[in-house]
Amino acid sequence: ARAHAHAGSAASATLRCFVETFLHCSDSVLISTQRKLAAISLLTALSLDASVVDLVGEILSYCVSVIAETAETVSPSKRSHPQRPPAQLAASEHAIFHRRAEACALDPLVGAPLLHVLQSTLLRAKHAHGAAFEAQMAAIDPTLLEQVKDAFDFTA
């Protein structure tokens, strides 16, 4: 039983280290589909383990920026062809490959309903961590909290 508990705490520590490291380098991710995947991954990590609940503010701040970049609040006709952020790479072998993959519609993440996925993942984290999650949400800067409510389309 002690070995299992130690393995669990080691996994929590590893997950926390991963999330912290990723948050520190996330601003260098320029391709919109990678930013969407990062937002989904960070919120999923939040829903999986209580060790990252205190990072909810940083995670939500990143998610808010990704939601704003993808402009999912525009009409449904524009959602099928997401706009690239201006800071996106325009040249390089990687960018060319990415544009070709996007044009072939091979990447299911391009058309994924990001807002819905993030909303449901955030609710899963809320239910998984209960009072600890609520306490961290209450401690978030009020300006960020308003941005989260607006971006995630929450009325409460």
140 assigned to some structural domain: yes
DSSP class of residue 89? -
11 assigned to some structural domain: yes
pTM > 0.85: yes or no = no
Q: Residue 78 — pLDDT band, cuts 50, 70, 90?
A: very low
Contact (CB, 8 A) for 19 and 55: yes
CA-CA distance, 153 to 116, in Å (whole number)? 10
125 assigned to some structural domain: yes
Q: Share the mean pLDDT of the chain.
A: 80
Give pLDDT, residue 9: 85
CA-CA distance, 100 to 24, in Å (whole number)? 29
111 assigned to some structural domain: yes
Structural domain range at position 132: 2-151
- How many structural domains comprise the chain? 1
Which residues have a Cβ under 8 Å from the Cβ of 109 and sit 6 or more positions away? 33, 36, 37
Q: CA dist 8 to 12, 15, 105, Å?
A: 6, 11, 39
156 assigned to some structural domain: no
